[in-house]
Amino acid sequence: MSLDFPLELPQGKYNKWCERRPLVCAQEKRKLGADHYVLDVSLTLSEKSAFYVHELVSCQGLEFVVFSNARIKRHVMLLGNIIIVPCFLTESKNTDSLLAQLTLEMSHRACFIYDGWLPIADWQKDNVRKAVRMIDSALSTFALQASAWFSWEPKYSPIMQGGTYHEFEREDVMPVKQLTQFLNRLEEVDARAFLTSIGWLSQSLRLSEPAAKFLFGILAIESLATYIEKESLDDSAFNKLRSAQLTKKQRKEQRQACIRDVMAQFLDTNPEKAVSTAYSDCIGGIKQRIQAHLVNIFCEDKEPVDLLFNLRVDGKTLYELRNEIAHGRVDALSEAQREAIFARAWDVERTARKYILKVLEIVTGHELAECEILQIVSPRLREGIVSSEQMYKGPIHMAEVYSSTYRDSITGDSKACN
């Protein structure tokens, strides 16, 4: 990492430092060539963006914007010849200028804006993929020095997604009132376990990082299922949901008797097998416990169990993917893997919600009303391309473009600085 190289404009960079001009292209042939990369399903969104801008305006790299709670006062060169440049005032000068006001806004939000540049010499797909991957790797190294987070996105995206919101009518909030009445009748420990499960689901909906979103959805199921099967008292309202109708004392005695039998059979001849068999047969791993619990809960409805434990996508079930994430076998820096996990997080969310509602139905004796909430998508146009620079009248400096006033109109996503 270096802080002392001259700040020159790299050859092939489309914008000057800390600028985001419009994409200027009047050639239909180039536009069609750029669209070809947008439709390529083998590319991640960031890779599409790199090819898209390269094809349109001959940019010889990827220009991107970085958001961080780290205030770095000078330009920095990172791994892969990646450069990030602060787009804010690093010293107090003219405090009445717009840039000074925007710098103050960044300080208040604890989110500073940087111009990022990744040079790409070879535009073969594999090389572009390797280069783009280096951005996350380079930025992640700051985490070793402080609690500094970094996120980034391409300056120009060929795919713009509008915001999505849910339109709740007056009758749609009735299930919430019913749930409140139910919780008020529960013992405190039962109510806490149930609310914890809902809390994990709620948190998963707020997250944008795919691995965390996926795991929190799984935890919504596991936390309540584990409480019911292992921790709930014999007079718990959830007692009827246990896969084995034994008291807590009987379950403990059953486990201990099983362990003694297994140890007596294998300990002298094969100690390793004795331990693994005792765990799998007597104690039972979390997978076996959750699977048995869900089979008991859903009875004839096989879809939730199949979705979690049997249906494979790209060779993995949801629970196998859960184990890979939880045990660190997923590459957190791979955009392709993050996108694949995000795509499957919806199945986890749907299953968790269905499980919680099913528990309510069994315990309360009636089905909790589930309303069809209207989902509305606010449309957003694709990245604008102009045939002449003079056609664009908006801001250019990135401090202004990515300020709270303009950012959402450019990217459609304000989470990076929340």
- 198 in the same domain as 234: yes
Task: Single out the residue in 306, 322, 357 at which a domain terminates.
Answer: 357
Task: Judge if 196 and 86 occupy the same domain.
Answer: no
Residue 149 lies in a domain: yes
Number of domains observed in the structure of the chain: 2
Could you tell me if 116 and 152 are in contact, meaning their C-beta atoms sit under 8 angstroms apart? yes
Same domain, 204 and 330: yes
Whether 125 and 202 share a structural domain: no
Asked whether residue 332 is assigned to any structural domain, the reply reads yes
| Residue 150, domain member (yes or no) | yes
Domain shared by 30 and 62, yes or no: yes
Same domain, 194 and 142: no
Instruction: Tell me, yes or no, whether 331 and 196 share the same domain.
Output: yes
Q: How much of the chain, in percent, has pLDDT values that exceed 70?
A: 84
* Close Cβ partners of 413 (under 8 Å, ≥ 6 residues apart): 153, 161
Question: What confidence tens digit (pLDDT) does each residue in 357-416 have?
Answer: 999 888 888 776 555 665 555 444 445 677 778 778 788 899 998 886 555 544 444 446
**What's the burial of 106, exposed, middle or buried (CB within 10 Å: 0-12/13-18/19+)?**
buried
pTM of the model: 0.67
Residues 6 or more apart whose Cβ sits within 8 Å of residue 273: 266
Give the separation between CA 143 and CA 73, rounded to whole angstroms.
17
- Residue 198, domain member (yes or no): yes
- Domain end (from 309, 324, 357): 357
User: Do residues 333 and 394 both lie within one domain?
Assistant: no
Q: Out of 75-79, 135-139, 165-169, 189-193, which region has the weakest mean confidence (pLDDT)?
A: 165-169
- Residues 124, 41 share a domain: yes
pLDDT at 368: 67
Question: Is 10 a member of any domain?
Answer: no
> Does 58 map to a domain?
yes
Which 3 state secondary structure label does DSSP give 244? coil
Q: Tell me the residue range of the domain where 404 lies.
A: 23-161+380-417
Domain-embedded: residue 138: yes
- Tens of pLDDT, residue by residue over 59-82, are 999 999 999 999 998 899 888 899
Query: Over the stretch 121-157, which tens digit does the pLDDT of each residue have?
Result: 999 999 999 999 899 888 888 887 888 899 999 999 8
Residue 1 lies in a domain: no
Q: For residues 314 and 208, state if they share a domain.
A: yes
User: What digits encode the pLDDT tens for the residues 239-270?
Assistant: 889 887 666 676 677 678 878 887 888 888 88
25: three-class secondary structure by DSSP = coil
Same domain, 353 and 384: no
Phi/psi region, residue 12 (left: phi>0; alpha: psi -120 to 50; beta: rest), is: left
Q: Which residues contact 113 (CB under 8 A, 6 or more apart)?
A: 65, 66, 67, 86, 87, 88, 106, 398, 399, 402
73 with 196, same domain: the answer is: no
